[in-house]
Structure 1
């Protein structure tokens, strides 16, 4: 919206200065003044055209991205039953491992959010706790899992699924 307002303003400046140049010519104003105002008309027009073309390009890109998003949404809705089963099985395996590590329900929730890639700040906002509390819980989780940190914790769940070629 702001870009459209700027483009309209530039077009208005161009039109008003154009009529001013015509008036100046009929009044016999010095040539240097007519040329300087003519440059304002030209620059305003070029700026407006550039901005209008940019708005059209971004509108086209936005429309294209929306179409791609709809296609992606359709693909997600059509996940095969096999994929849904695998996802459910994997989630159950993760929770089973949490139980083996004796994670509390609160620690399990933090652990899942860590596996999803959320930051401590994001987790604290979701759980309505302090970031320091989430950091302490993460440290306890890493200790119970016998890993050094977030990356090793996530890798623990992925390493069996990734084949080295």
Structure 2
């Protein structure tokens, strides 16, 4: 059973509609505020029921504008988080890994070793694949763990598992064990 694919514009369209409603509501608030000020200038008293209703409507509209602006900001943040999750799910984990590697300033050799660690190879197999001594691989792995501020292979791998399970924080934003 094939799922209907949602248009990528749905979230953007929703944000645009919400922004339009905020603008419309702000214009209505300005109208009521202006009208209430004009009525107050003419009457000079605030005890007029018509003036009090207009003032209350203006305050409600201003409160609504503020609330909708907060909601729009939250919507845009959630859309960004969802996009990051989709990028990871669609095979862009490489970009996430590269962001970590760049933050940690890994050398090209360390990057190769780190990728093989993530693939589950042990030091001897990495040495065999790279045609280097296993001591060299151990030294590179130790450097990777130090730069990533992890205690070893399991904790290093868990960084990337956490990234896959994260609610949308990017490697560059979160980088919990990145270089200082």
Name the TM tier (shorter chain).
0.3 to 0.5
TM-score between both structures, scaled by the size of structure 1: 0.46
Q: Relative contact order, CA 8 A, sep 6+: which one is greater?
A: 2
TM-score between both structures, scaled by the size of structure 2: 0.42
> More helix by proportion, 1 or 2?
1
